[in-house]
């Protein structure tokens, strides 16, 4: 008897979950005819039933993958990429070879430092980064010049209009005498959002260090080092 459509599993979602990749990357594998179901080449949008044999690049997909989660304290100067960009090293230069299959969750640019999560669990990465989940991120930010009270109010109360939409940040002074150092809390994660928000008002961010990402904090992890974390 043919399985009911409700019993079928989306192939791209399953590949993303098992291989620790995005669904787009899974679709690319399918589109390049690298994936087979029961010996037949899979097509985009394919579904399969439990017990079907799935192969990727000729190898049977192992559904017993053990998920791994790492919190890395990224130093300034490193890029969140597998490929070196110019003279800049990558975060994988800080990790043992056995962890090079993990993918970064919530990237930081080269000039920023702090907590970066890495995992082979595609669903975890999706839940941590998709805007609908609104994961809280906390940063220590140092500006080149004092932030004027009016501009603080504009950012916190009204938001700043950027080319990709309004940006609203929660700002807290680190101390009562310094208006250059701020604790910034946000629930989005657009590209260079904090730098662009301050930049729209004429400020330069000299330091940006992420201390918290969702339920995970940097804690005592030293720059360039990492810890294996338990998400349960």
Instruction: Single out the residue of 35, 57, 55, 215 nearest to residue 136, CA to CA.
Output: 215
For the chain, what is the radius of gyration of the CA atoms?
21
Residue spans per domain, the chain: 5-60, 69-130+217-228, 136-213
Residues 27, 63, 109, 230: which is the catalytic one? 109
Instruction: Return the CATH class of domain 136-213.
Output: alpha beta
| CA pseudo-torsion sign 175, 177, 181, 184 | positive
Element (H or E) spanning 227, and its range? Answer: strand 226-228
User: 184 in helix, strand or coil?
Assistant: strand
Eight-class DSSP state of 224? T
| Phi, psi for residue 161 in degrees, rounded to 5 | -80, 120
Q: Please give the structure tokens belonging to residue 44.
A: 């985009």
Contact 148, 154 (CB under 8 A): no
Q: Which CATH entry fits the domain spanning 5-60: 3.40.190.10, 3.10.290.10, 3.90.1150.10, 3.40.50.1820? A: 3.10.290.10
Q: Is 158 exposed, middle or buried (0-12, 13-18, 19+ CB in 10 A)?
A: exposed
pLDDT at 232: 62
Low-confidence ranges of the chain (pLDDT < 50): 1-4
Residues 6+ apart with CB under 8 A from 74: 80, 91, 94, 108, 112, 113, 114, 115, 116, 223
pLDDT tens-digit map of 145-180: 999 999 999 999 989 999 999 999 999 999 999 999
* 69-130+217-228: CATH topology: Alpha-Beta Plaits (3.30.70)
Contact 139, 211 (CB under 8 A): yes
Q: Which residue has the tokens 């989005």?
A: 188
136-213 has the same fold as 69-130+217-228: yes
Q: How far is CA 81 from the centre of its chain?
A: 11
| CA pseudo-torsion sign 187, 225, 70, 99 | positive
Q: Please give the structure tokens belonging to residue 220.
A: 């005592």
pLDDT at 6: 55
Would you call 109 a catalytic residue per the annotation? yes
Distance CA 186, CA 194 (A): 9
């Amino acid at each position: 008897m043919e399985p009911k459509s409700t019993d079928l599993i989306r192939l791209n979602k399953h590949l993303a979950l098992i291989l620790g990749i995005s669904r787009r990357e899974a679709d690319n594998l399918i589109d390049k005819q690298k994936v087979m179901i029961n010996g037949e080449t899979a097509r985009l949008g394919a579904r399969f039933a439990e017990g079907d044999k799935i192969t990727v690049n000729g190898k049977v997909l192992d559904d017993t993958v053990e998920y791994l989660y790492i919190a890395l304290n990224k130093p300034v100067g490193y890029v969140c990429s597998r490929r070196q960009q110019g003279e800049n090293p990558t975060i994988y230069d800080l990790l043992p070879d056995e962890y090079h299959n993990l993918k970064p969750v919530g990237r930081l640019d080269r000039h920023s430092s702090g907590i970066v999560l890495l995992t082979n669990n595609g669903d975890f990465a999706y839940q941590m980064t998709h805007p609908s989940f609104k994961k809280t991120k906390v940063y220590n930010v140092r500006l080149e010049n004092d932030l004027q009270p009016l501009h603080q109010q504009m950012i916190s109360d009204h938001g700043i209009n950027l080319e990709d939409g309004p940006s609203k940040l929660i700002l807290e002074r680190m101390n009562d005498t310094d208006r250059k150092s701020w604790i910034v809390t946000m629930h989005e994660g657009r590209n260079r959002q904090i730098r662009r928000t301050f930049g729209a008002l004429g400020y330069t961010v000299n330091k940006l260090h992420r201390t918290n990402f969702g339920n995970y904090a940097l804690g005592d992890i030293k720059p360039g080092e990492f810890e294996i974390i338990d998400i349960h």
